Amino acid sequence: MTTGESSGAPKPAPRPGPPRPAPRPGGTAPTVIVPPTADPHRFGRVDDDGTVWLFTSGGERVIGSWQAGEHEAAYAHFGRRYDDLNTEVALMERRLASGTGDARKIKAAAAALAETLPMASVLGDVDALGARLAVIVEQADTHAAEERQKRDEHRVAQTARKEALAVEAENIAANATQWKSAGDRLREILDEWRTVTGLDRKTDDALWKRYSAARETFNRRRGSHFAELDRERVGTRQAKEALCERAEQLADSTDWGGTAATFRDMLTEWKAAGRASKDVDDALWRRFKAAQDKFFKARNAVNAERDAEFDTNAATKDALLVAAEAIDLSDADAARTALRTIGAKWDAVGKVPRERAAEFERRMKAVEKKVRDTASAGGTDPEAQARADQFRVRAEQFEVQAAKAEAAGRTKDAEQARASATQWREWAEAAVQALGKKR
């Protein structure tokens, strides 16, 4: 009960009412009255003895006793208390209508407040408050059903989101091989997962177990991949170290053709061996290439020296050909003698550049044919001359074979071809000398 109230129980001692201004000179201070929102006089009365009555559809009832001052103050006091109840009901209505509150809680609060109305010490339209509370209670069920439907729809949507995230995580765990981007996506899924709420606990736990299992599967696959990669890199490093050792052993070889072919095969093995870690692979490649470069640098130097020798030999043969092509054919014996002399010098000259060898042979054969034809015209034995020419041709063929074998690095084959060429050259010379004696 507020100041000055009573409702049939023993009246308490009066308490001070609303503050009053200081007495004015020559009179008493007036009572300060704060009026309620609605006119309380319409809904009750105050007796001369201070008893306060409330009008309701069920009749009048005493709501208190006012002993603290003027009756208007009683109206104001109990009217404001009604305003408080009205504000509370209005707040429930707004929260229910806007959906900002829990309809079930609003319904419970409205029902509890409705139960207190028959005992409420207020001046105002209590019947209207009761009707509004009844409407709130009635509408709360509808709102509660709507809220429940919204919650259900939200829960279904959120469940679908997490289901989709779980499926994506499982697909990554089973199929991904781009390890960095896949790992980044799994972390993004986790961040998004934490923003998805509103699922029931059982479903949420089940979906979390799926995501967690997928992440563990991915981590195991990724770990196994890199462990296998490490094992492969160890094997690759060992294989390339062995190639480096072989290359270093061959770096000083002078078997130019055979060793060059071996280096080409080793380079193929190198590419097929795969890659070790970058720093190890780079260091091993520098080591392998250094050995390879050492060999080919030495071979190139020898080839350059040989090419210079071949150029000198070509110049010598050019001079010999000029002399041979200038032989006087009027005297067959003298022509043959001159040709033999030039031929001896020709045979003593070493190799020439490969691209000029055919030219030299063609020109020399042309000279030999002119000399031979001149000798035949002077009564030389054609059969003996043909035999001598055959021996010479065979000798030239073996010399060409020797040159090719030498260029390919087949030293043994080159030596055998040169030996055969020497033998056939000797037989050709003997046949030519025999022709001279017969004549």
- List, in sequence order, every beta strand (DSSP E) within 3-133: 44-46, 51-56, 59-65
Q: Quick one: 62 and 109 in the same domain? A: yes
418 within 8 A of 366, measured Cβ to Cβ: no
Q: d(Cα 41, Cα 52) in Å, to the nearest integer? A: 11
Q: Assess if residue 315 is contained within a domain.
A: no
Q: Assess if residue 57 is contained within a domain.
A: yes
The band of 216, judged by pLDDT with boundaries at 50, 70 and 90, is very high
Paired residues of 61 in beta bridges: 54
End-to-end CA distance of the chain: 168
Mean pLDDT of 29-39: 54
Q: d(Cα 225, Cα 285) in Å, to the nearest integer? A: 25
Residue 303 has pLDDT above 50, yes or no: yes
What's the pLDDT tens digit per position in 111-125?
999 999 999 999 999
Q: Quick one: 217 and 241 in the same domain? A: no
Q: d(Cα 267, Cα 292) in Å, to the nearest integer? A: 10
Give the number of domains in the chain. 4
Element (H, E) at 156: helix 126-175
Q: Quick one: 358 and 382 in the same domain? A: yes
335 within 8 A of 329, measured Cβ to Cβ: yes
Q: Quick one: 118 and 191 in the same domain? A: no
Q: Assess if residue 31 is contained within a domain.
A: no
Q: Assess if residue 35 is contained within a domain.
A: no
Q: Can you give the pLDDT at residue 302?
A: 84
Q: Quick one: 217 and 251 in the same domain? A: no
Residue 13 has pLDDT above 50, yes or no: no
Q: Assess if residue 350 is contained within a domain.
A: yes
291 within 8 A of 251, measured Cβ to Cβ: yes
What does the buried/exposed string (b/e) look like for 87-106 if buried means 16 or more CB atoms within 10 Å of the residue's CB?
eebeebbebbeeeebbbeeb
Q: SS3 of 56, please?
A: strand
Q: Who's near 116: CB < 8 A, 6+ residues apart? A: none
Q: SS3 of 54, please?
A: strand
Q: Quick one: 420 and 359 in the same domain? A: yes
Q: Quick one: 212 and 242 in the same domain? A: no
* Residues of the domain holding 275: 231-302
Record the tokens describing residue 128, joined without a space. Answer: 């209207």
Element (H, E) at 133: helix 126-175
Q: d(Cα 400, Cα 389) in Å, to the nearest integer? A: 17
What's the pLDDT tens digit per position in 130-166?
999 999 998 888 878 877 788 888 889 989 998 999 9
Q: Assess if residue 51 is contained within a domain.
A: yes
Phi, psi angle pair for 197, to nearest 5°: -125, 175
Q: Assess if residue 395 is contained within a domain.
A: yes
The position carrying tokens 């030495």 is 298
Q: SS3 of 70, please?
A: coil
Q: Can you give the pLDDT at residue 123?
A: 94
What's the pLDDT tens digit per position in 355-372?
888 887 888 888 888 888
Q: Quick one: 132 and 156 in the same domain? A: no
Q: Considering 111, 145, 179, which residue would you say is the last residue of a domain?
A: 145
Q: Considering 145, 171, 206, which residue would you say is the last residue of a domain?
A: 145
Q: Considering 129, 145, 161, which residue would you say is the last residue of a domain?
A: 145
Q: Quick one: 128 and 45 in the same domain? A: yes
What's the pLDDT tens digit per position in 236-258?
888 888 989 888 888 898 888 89
Most confidently modeled range among 8-17, 76-85, 269-278, 332-341: 76-85
Predicted model pTM: 0.41
The band of 81, judged by pLDDT with boundaries at 50, 70 and 90, is very high
Q: Who's near 56: CB < 8 A, 6+ residues apart? A: 126, 127
Q: Quick one: 132 and 199 in the same domain? A: no
Q: Quick one: 338 and 432 in the same domain? A: yes
Q: Assess if residue 2 is contained within a domain.
A: no
Q: At what angle do helices 278-325 and 256-272 cross, to 10 degrees?
A: 150
Q: Quick one: 247 and 343 in the same domain? A: no
Q: d(Cα 28, Cα 22) in Å, to the nearest integer? A: 8
14 within 8 A of 3, measured Cβ to Cβ: yes
Residue 19 has pLDDT above 70, yes or no: no
Residue 73 burial (CB count, 10 A): 21
Residue 412 has pLDDT above 60, yes or no: yes
Query: What's the mean per-residue pLDDT of the chain?
Result: 83
Q: Can you give the pLDDT at residue 378?
A: 56
Q: d(Cα 215, Cα 349) in Å, to the nearest integer? A: 80
| pLDDT higher at 256 or 13 | 256
Q: Which amino acid appears at position 250 of this protein?
A: L
